[in-house]
Chain A
Amino acid sequence: MIFNQKITSLHLDVLKEIGNIGAAHAATALSNLLGKKIDMRVPKVEMVSFNDMMELAGGSENVVVGIYLRIEGDAEGSMFFILPIEQANRFIRRLIYDESFDFKKQPVSELGLSAMQEMGNILSGSYLSALSDFTNLKIYPTVPGLSVDMFGAIISIGLIELSHISDNVIVINTSIFEDGAEDQETVKGHFFLLPDPDSFDAIFKALGVS
């Protein structure tokens, strides 16, 4: 169990590289899907408290579009793709050629929801297959779930496994943004990978760091 003490900067670099490779593939997939350039930031790997985790995407009450899936197999964990509502609206409008689409307008159009679900499928699939190729670990994603709700309510499901043994979480956080967006400084989306505590050993071992 490496969870609290034995994490070295080498371990952090390995986790960063996972975030880098996974998110780069996902950003490319998103870019192909939308026909638009998508840029990403250098991944951040942090150990944060549950409450600080809430601040990574605008606070626990901030309403976001969230895609969530579980990873099972040689390494297990939770993965989230989080978009601010406005950004998700822009992506989906572009995908389904419907400028009036809005996640805030009830009831949300089925076509839009299903497009979002499919986008989640494609992005998380590319992230995880890149991760699997890189580590040679066999990992299987569950079918992603979609929720438009408060960030805290969405992310807390990913903290459940961890919370049995810790009050902190190691999060691999990669931000993406749309190239040419009006405000380049604002992060437009996040991939959060939260490996289960017992899976860190498998990941490090697979990459020759123990």
Chain B
Amino acid sequence: MMLNNSNGQVIKVGIAQMDVVKLPNTIRTSGLGSCVGVILYDESKKIAGLIHVMLPDSSLGRQESINVAKFADTSVAAMIDLLKLEGVQKFKLKAKIAGGAQMFQFTSDKDSMRIGPRNVEAVKFELKRHGIPLVAEDTGGNSGRTIEFSPATSTLHIRTVNQGVSEI
């Protein structure tokens, strides 16, 4: 565990999933590679949501019923709705994001090889579209990341294998 929240629990979010966190808990997702972890938070209400985005665009999907948490374009809107249910107003929301690495260097022109940067671009586009300011980011590179967000302090802790823990 990265954060020392003695009386809270850590809410774990899997790949292509999302969830909401309130005090005194923290929220975490692990092993982000090309995926992007998106935190939407309300500083005053101390409520936050975490999305583990896997793909940029749901129109690329070929499923009849889609998992909204999987795509950048559907998950941000869905998370805003979830947070509204908790009484959060959209204009109070801020964002922090991490991930979007390129784990393997290939000279392939296949689009899936550039999925990390494309996910980051798509998430930023969505945040802009919804008027949510992006306060901090740790994106790109070629390392996996595990992230944990504390709504108490609005800090995002990021752990990588070689660079240890940082905060944004």
Taking Cβ atoms with an 8 Å cutoff, the residues of A that contact B are: 50-51, 54, 59-61, 63, 68, 70, 106, 142-143, 145-154, 156-157, 159-161, 163-167
Contacts and interface: CB of A to CB of B under 8 A. Distances in A.
A157 B55 contact: no
Contacts of B26: none
B122 interface: no
A51 B144 contact: no
A152 B60 CA distance: 23
A63 B161 contact: yes
A149 B102 CA distance: 12
A142 B106 contact: yes
Given A145-B106, A148-B161, A163-B16, A157 B112 contact: yes
B129 interface: no
Nearest to A49: B14
Given A154-B33, A157-B34, A164-B62, A149 B103 contact: yes
B30 A164 contact: no
A154 B34 CA distance: 9
Contacts of B142: 147
B47 interface: no
15 contacts: A50-B54, A51-B14, A51-B17, A61-B31, A61-B146, A63-B161, A70-B110, A142-B108, A145-B106, A150-B30, A150-B144, A153-B33, A154-B33, A156-B54, A160-B54
B6 interface: no
Interface string B130-159: 000000000000111110000000000000
Contacts of B16: 50, 163, 167
Contacts, number: 104
B50 interface: no
A68 B61 CA distance: 24
A163 B112 CA distance: 11
Interface string B83-115: 000000000000000000101111110101001
Nearest to A151: B31
Interface string B16-37: 1100000000000011111100
B162 interface: yes
B31 A163 contact: no
A51 B30 CA distance: 11
- Of B67, B103, B105, most A-chain CB atoms within 10 Å: B103
Contacts of B63: 164-166
Nearest to B66: A167
Contacts of B146: 61, 150
A206 B63 CA distance: 27
Contacts of A166: 63
A152 B30 contact: yes
B17 to A, nearest CB: 8
B77 interface: no
A160 B162 contact: no
Contacts of B104: 68, 145-147, 157
B33 A157 contact: yes
A200 B63 CA distance: 17
Contacts of B162: 106
A152 B33 contact: yes
A55 to B, nearest CB: 10
Contact of B15 (A60, A142, A143, A161): A60
A54 B29 CA distance: 12
A51 B63 CA distance: 19
Contact of B105 (A50, A60, A145): A145
